[in-house]
Structure 1
Amino acid sequence: MRQIILDTETTGLDPQQGHRIIEFAGLEMVGRKLTGKHLHLYIHPERAIDPDAQRVHGISLEFLEGKPVFAKVASEIADFLRDAELIIHNAPFDVGFLNAEFAKVGLPPVRELCANVIDTLAEARDMFPGKRNSLDALCDRFEIDRSNRTLHGALVDCELLSEVYLWMTRGQESLAMDIDVDVPGAQAGQDLTFERKPLMVKPADEAELAEHQAYLDALDKAVKGSCIWRAREAPAPTEG
């Protein structure tokens, strides 16, 4: 499925109070690989930027002079997102702003426009309960270099989030495959039954076991603790 890593920067915290999007960034990912296709826009908000927000992202109204207003780029953004699965850190924030902006120009909300929305903040809280799960914290946890991130910027945050998402979802690649089998003499729609031979079980050798332990050590380091597979491998306690 086509996925879009998405982030926005805004004039403030609440679109219901008239705050607007001033930066949009989206990176396309297909098959867990960035394709190089992206959309990055600066947008004039037609209003002032809150000082607290400007301290976070560093974008001034003077910088945005001459940039297009949202109505001029709304269709471009909607077309880029259409039918994709969105990956967003703290999705309710960005989706809320996009919905408010789309409504102003008569476009459908995000949930109707896109196939799905994944909130990496919610997923991180499930994976690491009780720990800090900001984008910075997750980059530190997975040892992702964020030295180029001095301020919050939509494009650099998308690049970091793409790496965080891949770390968080390692091992979740689909094992399902659609296979067309050409059997001589078979007719269309014919129910074919194949005799299954007993599966051969080949135990891992010492080198493979050592490689497995090294991989678990790397996972322990990434989560700064003991990964779930350590708990599964630990012998069950005996009674008495």
Structure 2
Amino acid sequence: MQFQWQVDQTDIDHVKTFVASHAANPFVRMRVERNLASAKPAVDRAEFWKQMVGMRMTSVQRSGPNSAVAKFLRTTPFPLEYDGFDRETDGEARRDLISSTLRAHGGIRFSDKIAEDLSRNLDKLNADQGWATTLKKVNALALRSEARQERELARYLQKLLHGFGPKQSRNLLQSLGLTRYEIPIDSRITKWLNDFGFPVTLTATALADAGYYEFVLDGIQALCAASDVFPCVLDAAIFASFDGDAWTQENTIY
């Protein structure tokens, strides 16, 4: 059996008009500037760690411009700097420090589970060739990437990292400014697509399955290809449509 996504002119016109209506939004402009750049800065351990912390925190909690998560990620200096954890060998002490830092900030749910996942992820990255292999794969996307290449890396991160399912693995890559085609399908995306008339009714529960997630993402990518719009830009436009002018050039972090 085979399935083929069909995109008609009405769909194309809808997407083009929608994206154009949000093109001036700072959040959309920043996404275009970062993710569509012809070449991107190399990702080091500190940057990967910071974005891994941030994207693990976005799971099942608000992440808009005025959310506790966004405020935490904008804090300078960053409260969970990598240099403070790469030398910490006591896993329990590391977990306690991460958890207490999140609780002290306030408004962030599941601090203990987040701390456990992040600590275990750091152990995996520090083991064997974890960092070397991961950063090599990640930085391969610094030049113009292909959809297949991005998907393979999203699958790798999902398998490697605790607390990172199909959505969070893509959230991480997008926050690093690396991906054009693989996007996190969150509640905003599902609402917009359901209202748009996407042929499959989307739910968060079903999207937790990696196979189903990729099936839906194939449909989004087909829609974007027909509309001459990169999925990461459609994602930014949808995000901006929910938050209006709350994102500025200064506070945009994703």
Same fold (TM over 0.5): no
More strand by share: 1
Greater gyration radius: 1
More helix by share: 2
Structure with the larger RCO, 1 or 2 (CA within 8 Å, 6+ apart): 2
